[in-house]
Chain A
Amino acid sequence: MRVALLVLSAFAVVGAPSERRANVRPEERTTWDSVFTRAQAERGEATYARTCSRCHQATLSGADQSPALVGSTFLGKWDGLTVGQLHDRIRTTMPSGDPGIYTRAEVSDVIAYILDYNAYPAGIVELPTSGNLLSGIRILETRPRAGGS
């Protein structure tokens, strides 16, 4: 019950308007709204270390053929898009030699790790696995100026 109430309050906070972006609809959450848990990020770190780090590096800095997953290089590319779109991209193309081996939950865990690494705030509710829910969370490089979160 307590968890359910907190989830509701998280949505309520997001309901406040964002001055910065007209394209953030009131019902949407953003990556600034504590959309994953630290434990989930730790699970994602283990998955990342097993496969992803070989090309994207332990520091998420990327290399010749593998884009960075941290900092303005990464966030600039995904700024304004949804976590659902990022999830789809990773799920259908990664790891490059064997795409599709990870479950939806594992992909969500890896995204939680990426968000954690990029210093987005963790919370008490895990990043979901459902495409519909993930597409309601927008990646914003800069924290919205006013209102929620």
Chain B
Amino acid sequence: MRGSRYSPLDQINAENFGSLEVAWRFKTDAFGPRPEYKLEGTPLMVGGILYTTAGTRRAVVALDAATGELVWMHSENEGARGAAAPRPLSGRGLSYWTDGTDARILYVTPGYRLIALDAKTGALVPSFGKNGAVDLKLELDQTLEPDLETGEIGFQGAPVVARDVVIIGAAFREGGAPKSAKNTKGYIRGYDVRTGKRLWIFHTIPKKGQVGYDTWKDGSAEVAGNTGVWTQITVDEELGLVYLPVESPTGDYYGGHRPGDNLYGEALVCVDLRTGVRKWHHQIVRHPIWDFDLPAAPILADITVDGKAIRAVALPTKQGILYMFDRVTGAPIWPMEERAVEAGNVPGETYAPTQPIPTKPAAYSRNGITLDDLIDFTPALKEAGVQLASRFKLGPLFTPPIVSTSDGPIGTLTQGPTNGGTNWPVGSYDPETHIVYLSASNNSPSLLSLVPPAPGASDMRYVRGIAPPAPGAPRLTGFSVQGLPLLKPPYGTITAIQLDRGEILWQVPHGETPDAVRNSPALTGLDIPRTGQSGSVGTLVTKTLVIAGDPETTTTPTRARSAMLRAYDKATGREVGAVQLAAPQSGSPMTYSVNGRQYIVVAISGGPYSGEYIAFRLPVAGGR
């Protein structure tokens, strides 16, 4: 709820992490009509029972936390409505609520229904909504087109529950090439956890008369959609405040149909937990055209700046910038500067002349691409990289998308948009030391290139795409040079940032050097330090460790193909232990204690390896 992913447990530490053994595995293949290869859930543990989502129908499973044995399961077959879900599969988790006697599990189905289950038995709670379910496609303050079954809206995150209020986000299909400039609006709603009654709705695209309506010129607020919250929502239960990280409006890379700043697109919005009324907001990106979204749950941090206690909220981003605000007033913790940014020339587009950038902390991952960011292991590779890059427009953060041309540039090649920096797995915050730990991808280049849509494909003037190559020109085959990434390492990192001072304490590459780099004939004889791996992964911070798994598998001379779950000394970033995973970490590690033993559980999947939760614990001293 506070976005911290912190646990004070200390049985597993630097000395013994490497001796962890598998306590149990839980395969999720059977919880749907086919296996899933993208298991992203983070389990919850209450009273010796582990609750999580699993499988292609997003079943809820309750497991014995010590053994992984299935205690109960609940699954909804939503038929065509489930198949039409914009955000299918097992989702990212669920919520637990209790008033001391009644205990419930709440989750959102792929078909966008909020389900309440008895935590002890898994039975639907008949007094909640209609027989245990609330149809989230209703009471939406808009008519869902074309119908309830296929109307586009869903949510793959965990609902958040605070003070008897369940808060639900909204998500859509990817928005690079939408069929229409008109789409469903991603309003955020609060529901009564006991009855399922809707308590409030926050219009992420303001209605006429509401604050922010005038930031949509030409009446475009009536047409534009998306602008939901697809990542996790954070709540300060004590203050009764909710922090909404809002995504991009319709048209990830083309905003010509929505002139203006477009509030609350890509804004952090604070609303009242009881009423949904806006308290403050800060728009991170004005007139969003980079698909920066706000992809990560805000992190609540009680810090001390120059001797003054501040209740802060810290927002990691794809830009690799940590935005920090006083979470009561919305005032920035560190001075913000208005940075002049390039105006593009896409017909019909309008551009914000400046964007707000905090003066601290420094960016913790690569944003934008210049020649200095290109591969430079050898002069020959650098030359090849510069040659490939000559087909694109390069530039710093906020270099705008361009219309793709056959003769080049094909598009703006940049780092940050889409999958750069930090994404939904977020990071961790240590409330004792006021240090935040963030995983980030430095090597997720994104081509921001626009073309007119194919006839009949969209009513947008421009959508994401590339112009056909000129005759004889080579096809664009990714952003690689002789099988090596075009961008130079580190490809992915974990960074520790001290929030009282807004300073980066340490940064380490995270993940083994990819096989393609380690085995590259072009690098024979060179000593390449660990590069880390592309991808933003979830972290866990404990009393002494930061724990995170590799986002890719590798095969080394000393071990078979696998990923590693790694532990770092949280004070220094030094790796202190690692254990093998059969597949990359695809969820976030979580830890708990049962019967006096500490466990670490994490979701793994990817490539040919279907979803599995795997739990580790220490061997019993003198045991088998």
Residues of A within 8 A of B (CB): 20, 23, 54-55, 57-61, 63-66, 68, 70-81, 85-86, 88-89, 92-93, 96-100, 117-119, 141-142, 145
Contact = CB atoms under 8 A, between A and B. Distances in A.
A141 B516 contact: yes
Interface in B281-300: 291
A92 B38 CA distance: 13
B176 A57 contact: yes
A73 B477 contact: no
Contacts of A117: 475, 477
Contacts of B555: 23, 80
B519 A57 contact: no
A109 B475 CA distance: 19
Interface string B467-491: 0000000011111100111000000
A86 B484 CA distance: 22
Given A23-B555, A64-B418, A80-B515, A59 B476 contact: yes
B509 to A, nearest CB: 15
A78 B291 CA distance: 27
Interface string B1-39: 000000000000000000000000000000000111100
Contacts of B552: 76-77
B183 interface: no
A72 B483 CA distance: 6
Contacts of A119: 477
A66 B173 CA distance: 11
A59 B447 contact: yes
A58 to B, nearest CB: 6
Contact of A97 (B37, B88, B446): B88
B465 interface: yes
Nearest to A21: B519
B258 interface: no
15 contacts: A20-B519, A57-B464, A58-B466, A59-B447, A63-B418, A65-B174, A72-B478, A72-B479, A72-B485, A77-B553, A80-B555, A81-B608, A88-B608, A89-B608, A141-B516
B176 A97 contact: no
Contact of B174 (A64, A73, A93): A64
Interface centre among B447, B483, B552 (most CB of A within 10 A): B483
A97 B83 contact: yes
B174 A118 contact: no
Interface of B: 34-37, 83-85, 87-88, 174, 176-177, 291, 418-419, 444, 446-447, 464-466, 475-480, 483-485, 514-516, 519-521, 534, 552-553, 555, 561, 606-608
What are the 7 tightest A-B residue pairs by CB atom distance, in nearest-first order?
Answer: A71-B478, A85-B608, A70-B478, A71-B480, A72-B480, A141-B516, A63-B174
A73 B464 contact: no
Given A72-B478, A142-B521, A92 B35 contact: yes
A64 B419 contact: yes
Nearest to A23: B555
A66 B516 contact: no
A92 B32 CA distance: 12
A117 B475 CA distance: 8
A52 B416 CA distance: 24
Contact of A80 (B85, B87, B485, B561): B561
A93 B18 CA distance: 35
Contacts of A76: 514-516, 552
Given A74-B478, A145-B521, 6 more contacts: A72-B478, A72-B479, A73-B534, A79-B516, A80-B515, A88-B608
B220 to A, nearest CB: 23
B262 to A, nearest CB: 19
A57 B451 CA distance: 13
A57 B411 CA distance: 14
Given A92-B35, A96-B88, A141 B515 contact: yes
Given A20-B519, A99-B34, A77 B174 contact: no
A92 B521 CA distance: 35
Nearest to A70: B478
Contacts of B465: 57-58
B465 to A, nearest CB: 6
B174 A72 contact: no
Contacts of A99: 34
A63 B176 contact: yes
A122 B479 CA distance: 22
A65 B466 CA distance: 20
Contact of B34 (A60, A63, A65, A93): A93
A64 B418 CA distance: 5
Contacts of B291: 64
Contacts of B479: 71-72
A72 B478 CA distance: 8
A56 to B, nearest CB: 10
Given A66-B174, A75-B483, A76-B552, A142 B516 contact: yes
A42 B476 CA distance: 17
A74 B483 CA distance: 11
A42 B418 CA distance: 29
B514 to A, nearest CB: 5
Contacts of A79: 515-516
A22 B475 CA distance: 32
B606 A77 contact: yes
Contacts of B514: 72, 76
A67 to B, nearest CB: 9
A118 B477 contact: yes
Nearest to A75: B516
Contacts of B84: 97
A20 to B, nearest CB: 6
A70 B516 contact: no
Contacts of B444: 73
Given A58-B466, A68-B478, A75-B483, A92 B34 contact: yes
Contacts of A93: 34-37
A77 to B, nearest CB: 5
Contacts of B83: 97-98
A75 B508 CA distance: 25
Contacts of A77: 552-553, 606-607
